[in-house]
Amino acid sequence: MTTTTHAIAVPSPGAPLVPTTIERRDLRPDDVLIDIRYAGICHSDIHQAQEDWGEAIFPMVPGHEIAGVVAAAGPEVTKYRLGDRVGVGCMVDSCGECEYCRAGTEQFCVKGNVQTYNGVGFDGENTYGGYSRQIVVKEGFVCRIPAGIDLDVAAPLLCAGITTYSPLRKWGAGPGKKVAVIGLGGLGHMAVKLAVAMGAEVTVLSQSLKKQEDGLRLGAKDYFATSDESTFEALRGRFDLILNTVSAKLPVDSYLGLLRVGGAMVNVGAPGEPLAYNAFSLLGGNKVLAGSMIGGIAETQEMLDFCAEHGIGAEIETISAGQVNEAYERVSNSDVRYRFVIDTATIEA
Ligand code: NAP
Ligand code: ZN
């Protein structure tokens, strides 16, 4: 016995999304059933729907920025009760035993974390994500959305929030630090808000000055257009940390030139194409080029609590199920301010 729920699916690589129904498993003892209220659209959804990262599983129900309310709980669930406001991000399971799981970095589970969608559970079943009305998730992969953050603006925190929070923390964003954020999209705008709340001095590096007013309103001190060659001269050697949130290939050497001696550039953007750099761009200045993938469950909860404490949510545009294909187009064209969130009540067969 399973539960049938309405969803929106990508039937085949790159095809438009269509309404459908899917089955959710019966509750296991440590599962919760979540009535999804909002699901954010991450650029990773588009990468996977288009197979930018390689072969994917179809039909695909994307969505790993999930906010909702607990509708039922298995008998061994201890953390959540009916009516609790909860979120689910990019993972729904991991082995729980390897050194990385034990260290709270389930995303690096040696058996592979189970992705919220476009994944296969340890039971062999395909996973389906948040563009749906309900989902069943093991309680250990569910986070609590603190009072004070509305569910719609909370949804994007489950991926865009944690993916930027984790490297900002790890690489020391804080008072006295100059942080640049490349790309003012879903991840980028969260990075600006979070780095500002951590006390860093933040600069946005965007393709144009179109969104400058927004960037400054979000707390950035400076805003530069990367289409203007003089930007790279003006900012040479300025930053302690650069967070690259861009979904496409970038001229990495130009950006490494903006780091101070010992500075770090961290990539969270995940284009399908390889990024290239010249070894001397790192050697001259003992610079670091690093990567970061989402964050563990405990750190995701820490990020949500941090956001509640600092009054941070995503800047969103709420859409209905029928507008999802148009939203995909707009995200692909960098035309998003700053996250599309699907009102899942509008998902119908
Ligand atoms: P998004 O909302 O589309 O934002 C990306 C931004 O990058 C755009 O708004 C644009 O900002 C800039 N950009 C786009 N194309 C560009 C180009 N050709 N040249 C220069 N800049 C360009 O996407 P997102 O949801 O924030 O995701 C960003 C990337 O992070 C994606 O590749 C996604 O898959 C990846 N991601 C990684 C993780 C992880 O764990 N590491 C997690 C989530 C997402 P401007 O208009 O300001 O230039
Ligand atoms: Zn994402």
Residue of the CA atom closest to atom 4 of ligand 1: 185
CATH 3.40.50.720 domain extents, the chain: 161-291
Structure tokens that stand for 272 in this block: 């399908």
Pocket of ligand 1 (CB under 6 A): 42-44, 47, 159-160, 163, 183-188, 206-207, 211, 245-248, 268-271, 292-294, 331, 334, 336
Ligand nearest to the CA of 192: 1
DSSP reduced 3-state for 158: helix
Residue of the CA atom closest to atom 22 of ligand 1: 246
Residue-wise pLDDT for 140-186, tens only, equals 999 999 999 999 999 999 999 999 999 999 999 999 999 999 999 99
Longest dimension (CA), the chain: 63
332 Cα to the center of ligand 1, angstroms: 9
254 Cα to the center of ligand 2, angstroms: 26
Would you state the pLDDT for residue 1? Answer: 67
Residue-wise pLDDT for 302-328, tens only, equals 999 999 999 999 999 999 999 999 999
90 Cα to the center of ligand 2, angstroms: 7
Residue spans of beta strands (DSSP E) within 131-258: 134-138, 143-144, 178-182, 201-206, 222-225, 239-244
**Helix (H) / strand (E) containing 114:** strand 114-115
Would you state the pLDDT for residue 349? Answer: 67
Does domain 2-159+295-346 fall into CATH 3.90.180.10? yes
CATH 3.90.180.10 domain extents, the chain: 2-159+295-346
Q: Measured between alpha carbons, how far is 155 from 45 in angstroms, rounded to an integer?
A: 14
Q: Would the pTM of this model clear 0.95, i.e. be above it?
A: yes
Would you state the pLDDT for residue 164? Answer: 98
Would you state the pLDDT for residue 135? Answer: 98
Residue of the CA atom closest to atom 19 of ligand 1: 248
Please, what is the average pLDDT of the chain? 97
> Which residues of the chain carry a pLDDT beneath 70?
1, 349
Q: Measured between alpha carbons, how far is 8 from 63 in angstroms, rounded to an integer?
A: 10
Does domain 161-291 fall into CATH 3.40.50.720? yes
Q: Measured between alpha carbons, how far is 278 from 283 in angstroms, rounded to an integer?
A: 9
Would you state the pLDDT for residue 140? Answer: 98
